[in-house]
Amino acid sequence: MQKNYSIDVVDGITVTRFSKKPELSELIGAMDDVLARGESRLRLWVFEAGINFSYDEIVEIAKHGKVVWPVPSMAAIVVPDDLSFGLARVHDVYREQKGSEVRVFRTETEAIAWLKGEI
């Protein structure tokens, strides 16, 4: 089965790009794939078609992130539409963890600048 995402490391940032809206199991699998690749202190998640998770799924994603990601770390989430932006912001609330920062952006340019400490 072909994956709906790609993982690349660009300038020290692990970039995971989804071409279609992911299912919960696929996103959890992608998180585990990123972790298995090694260094993942700076992460960029690009959801080109947006996201559509339930409240319970968002909470599960946030809990999984607290367990697997190294601290300190930063993650930027890029989503194209208002609904996805709002859902990603709900994730931020549940993802709060000392030493870990997660922010939601509309553009990759802005997200990368934040990850690099330029804004």
Q: Give residue-wise pLDDT tens across range 12-37.
A: 999 999 999 999 999 999 999 999 99
Domain count, the chain: 1
CB-based contacts of 92, cutoff 8 Å, min separation 6: 102, 103, 104
Q: List the beta bridge partners of residue 105.
A: 78
Q: Give residue-wise pLDDT tens across range 35-72.
A: 999 878 999 999 999 999 999 999 999 999 999 887 88
pTM given for the model: 0.94
What residues make up the domain containing 111?
A: 5-115
* 79 neighbors 85 (Cβ within 8 angstroms): yes
CATH number of 111's domain:
3.30.750
* 47 neighbors 80 (Cβ within 8 angstroms): yes
